[in-house]
Amino acid sequence: MNKLGERIESRGAWKGPEIDWTKEGLHVLSADDLKEIDAALQHLLSLGQVDFPDITRDNFPLNRVGALMAGLPQRLREGQGFLMVRGLPREKYSDDDMTRIYFGLGAYIGTPMTQSYLGDILGHVMDVSDYEPKSRGYRKGGGQLMHTDSCDIIGLMCLRSAISGGESRISSALAVHNYMVEHHPDLLQVLIEGLHLKRTDEDGRRATRTFSPDRVPFFHQAGDEITCYLPTGYARLAEKSGQRPYSQAESDALYQVRKAAASPELYLDMGFKEGDIQFLNNRMMVHGRTDYQDHKELADRRHLLRLWLHVPTWPAMPAAQIFHTDEDRRLWSQYRQPFAELPTVHYEKLLDPNAEKGMVE
């Protein structure tokens, strides 16, 4: 049995340079798959305006592709923890219809989770910092440091790629654990005990709290189950705030785990093509992105769609590692507006300050 603080042997404890992800982590949709997806979209559209929370397996009917998606949680849990689905004809569909397809596929995997104070159940990952000065990291440009999100499975669909760069960078959190075992075992124990976390001010103001009441363990074991949660961004916010002072050991542990996750010895870069969908097991993966050159016009900018999915068939997330509680998400969900996740609506609200104000206040 694997044990925290000792080297973990698992298919999920891989090193990026040792993996050819195009052979081990890529599924290319067939012509029949694409016909099935298109038929499901046409059926959904025939029902009129169906809002995202109402998109289900029943109104987005799939057979073979549905079985692939329904089997994804087990594949991500027992395997290497990632899969890229490729082949959607980006040129055939509008931004809004691509989003509907994406959400329809997600309905076979798990339950969508609210992601922020906006109440969004689908996040727009793009640089809008010139429109939203207080944006979270996924709403800003440039590279992004390695971290995990607050869900079971994260999905990312590429609507538009950057001029250059912007690759998805992933690492196995289990391999990060092993690196810390070998190089910094004392600091690993600090991470097992946990660090205080802090939300952004807007997320905190509309939730139950801004800071975690207790330390949140980055690595946790219950029986045979090892769960990794590396919210390095939230930890950095807590450290910088000065309101939850970090000891020298805690600061060192955060620095070293961030360094390990971003080490060329461990990470794997996956280039996004438009229409690609990447799925990650968020309990055993860390992810970020490389720096990129973007377009100036809003509608042309690098644009990914993010799903946070809860998988009911998985063991419950350890309570000590839950930062965003059900009550937090309920409070955030009050600010959601119907169809707000549609790209056309998203752009409209960004370009119209009054519409933006009406959405979140």
Helix (H, G, I), strand (E, B) or coil at 132: coil
Which whole number is the average pLDDT over 66-93?
97
Average pLDDT taken over every residue of the chain: 94
pLDDT at 258 over 50: yes
Give the pLDDT score at 352. 81
Measured CA to CA in angstroms, residue 318 lies from 98, 152, 212, 238, 280 at distances of: 34, 12, 15, 21, 19
Which single residue is written with the structure tokens 């969004």?
120
What are 62's two structure tokens? 């799939």
Contact 155, 106 (CB under 8 A): yes
Contact 188, 245 (CB under 8 A): no
pLDDT tens digit string along 287-336?
999 999 989 998 889 999 999 999 999 999 999 999 999 999 999 999 99
Percent of the chain surpassing pLDDT 90? 87
Q: How far apart are CA 280 and CA 106, in angstroms?
A: 13
Which whole number is the average pLDDT over 147-166?
95
Please name which of 361, 351, 343, 358 lies closest in space to residue 93, comparing C-alpha atoms. Answer: 343
Exposed/middle/buried for 255, CB within 10 Å: 0-12, 13-18, 19+? middle
What's at 41, amino acid-wise?
L
Rounded to the nearest 5°, which phi and psi values hold at 210? -100, -40
State the pTM of this model. 0.94
Residue 361's pLDDT band, with cuts at 50, 70 and 90, is very low
Which whole number is the average pLDDT over 180-186?
98
Please name which of 245, 180, 248, 182 lies closest in space to residue 218, comparing C-alpha atoms. Answer: 180
Interacting residues of 77 by C-beta distance below 8 A, sequence separation 6+ = 281, 314
pLDDT at 266 over 90: yes
Contact 294, 301 (CB under 8 A): yes
Rounded to 10 deg, the angle between the 95-106 and 343-351 helix axes is 120
pLDDT tens digit string along 102-140?
999 999 999 999 999 989 999 999 988 888 776 666 778
Contact 268, 288 (CB under 8 A): no
Domains, the chain, with CATH or none? 16-360 (3.60.130.10)
Give the pLDDT score at 359. 37
Percent of the chain surpassing pLDDT 70? 96
Residue 360's pLDDT band, with cuts at 50, 70 and 90, is very low
Please name which of 232, 237, 231, 228 lies closest in space to residue 199, comparing C-alpha atoms. Answer: 237
Which whole number is the average pLDDT over 154-172?
95
The conformation of residue 29, written as its DSSP 8-state character, comes to P
Give the pLDDT score at 354. 67
Give the pLDDT score at 357. 41
Give the pLDDT score at 358. 37
Give the pLDDT score at 105. 98
Rg (CA), the chain: 20
Which whole number is the average pLDDT over 274-280?
97
Contact 159, 343 (CB under 8 A): yes
